[in-house]
Amino acid sequence: MTVAWGAIFDWDGVLVDSSAHHERSWERLAAETGYRLPPDHFHRGFGMKNEQIIPELLRWTRDPAEIRRLSLRKEELFRESVRRAGIAPLPGVREWLERLDRARIPRIIASSTHRENIETILRLTDMDGFRGIVAAEDVERGKPAPDVFLLAAARLGLAPTQCVVFEDSPAGLAAARAAGMRVVAVTTTHPAETLKDADLIVPRLDALSVELMPQLLPSMATPRSRSGGSH
């Protein structure tokens, strides 16, 4: 069977709302280490890899060994928080994944999050059916570089122009654009006015219809749309 297109999902803020757990883990890490967290650090770093956040945004250290130590500890704290407090898919996620499965659309996760975090939450939420995971460890450059999405497309066996990315952050949108892909933005973590580079903006994934997605692809040569379709 010829696959017309593939779905590439960011993780945090698209499939699960893990922002509170991440923010809490940064705060716990700062308390443990004595490092200072600058104002609005969390929203400015959303979608970026720890290896970018720690030296460039937080400016804690530029020593590679210390960056790695801090990054791994932060993710340990994150997983502790998730296991203790629990987590669930965002509203509309299961419905959208079921629609894609019925249409036999291949899907993959591509995220700046560490693989163990994603695998932990997939087990806790019983989400399956993804063709794979491209995580922080798989690419050298994080978003807004396109590497994570290009690798995800390659693992699906599709050209970038055959892929639709589902994102929630400006950094992710920039990465999808740099990869030459169409992108649907979900307003779960950022307001619509900051996501205007998307082809489509929706409040939740089940506002989308599978039939609408191919119309976003360059081969269809259709104008950009700004609202979701019903199923």
Question: How many C-beta atoms surround the C-beta of residue 196 within 10 A?
Answer: 11
Report the distance separating Cα 136 and Cα 189, nearest Å.
20
Identify whether 147 is a catalytic site residue.
no
The sheet with strand 182-186 has its strands ordered as 133-134, 107-110, 6-9, 163-167, 182-186, 200-202
3-state secondary structure the chain: CCCCCEEEECCECCCECCHHHHHHHHHHHHHHHCCCCCCCHHHHHCCCCHHHHHHHHCCCCCCHHHHHHHHHHHHHHHHHHHHHHCCCECCCHHHHHHHHHHCCCCEEEECCCCHHHHHHHHHHHCCCCCCCEECHHHCCCCCCCCHHHHHHHHHHCCCHHHEEEEECCHHHHHHHHHCCCEEEEECCCCCHHHCCCCCEEECCHHHCCHHHHHHHCHHHCCCCCCCCCCC
Catalytic residue among 12, 147, 199, 206: 12
- Kindly list the catalytic residues: 10, 12
